[in-house]
Amino acid sequence: MTAELGGIISGEHGIGHKRRDYMSLVMSEAHLDMMRKIKRALDPKNILNPGKVFSLD
């Protein structure tokens, strides 16, 4: 329902592991890819919350 109404799945508490499987329903693959690239650039060793939002594998 959230995606159908143009909403997003995060709020003041972020995405978290409970909602990560639904990100592709409300975000394009290009958007998710951009987020992965930013994560890799800012955290190249993947030590900050590894796997919390999405896998970098």
pLDDT in tens, 16-49: 666 777 777 778 899 989 989 999 999 999 999 8
How high is the pLDDT of residue 25?
77
pLDDT of 12 over the 60 cut: no
Nearest CA to 53 among 41, 37, 28, 36? 36
Structural domain count, the chain: 1
The residue segments making up the domain with residue 23 are: 1-49
Residue 57 lies in a domain: no
Model confidence, pTM = 0.66
Residue 11 lies in a domain: yes
How high is the pLDDT of residue 13?
59
How high is the pLDDT of residue 45?
93
Residue 7 lies in a domain: yes
Tokens representing 27 are 């975000």
Residue 42 lies in a domain: yes
C-alpha to C-alpha distance for 25 and 43, rounded to whole angstroms? 25
Residue 40 lies in a domain: yes
